[in-house]
Amino acid sequence: MDYMTAKEIAEKWAITSRRVQVLCAQGKIPGAVRFGVTWAIPKDAAKPKDGRFKTTKSD
């Protein structure tokens, strides 16, 4: 399996590398593995939905 760094994934997903690190630490990216201070994330990992915001229904 091919892996990418948090920085590479951040560029791919258009988010910050810190946000990727937080998602990894929270277990929201399946297959992410920590090697020391670096995260190894599978190349084919899907970007998790942003759970920080709720969607509102329009009536």
Any domain includes 50: no
Cβ atoms of residues 43 and 29 within 8 Å: no
In the chain, the number of structural domains is 1
Any domain includes 19: yes
Record the pTM: 0.81
Per-residue pLDDT of the chain (59 residues; tens, 9 = 90+): 799 999 999 999 999 999 999 999 999 999 999 999 999 999 999 999 877 777 677 65
Q: How far is CA 35 from the centre of its chain?
A: 16
| Domain that includes residue 19, residue range | 3-42
Any domain includes 12: yes
pLDDT (0 to 100) of residue 59: 56
Any domain includes 27: yes
Any domain includes 49: no
Any domain includes 18: yes
Any domain includes 29: yes
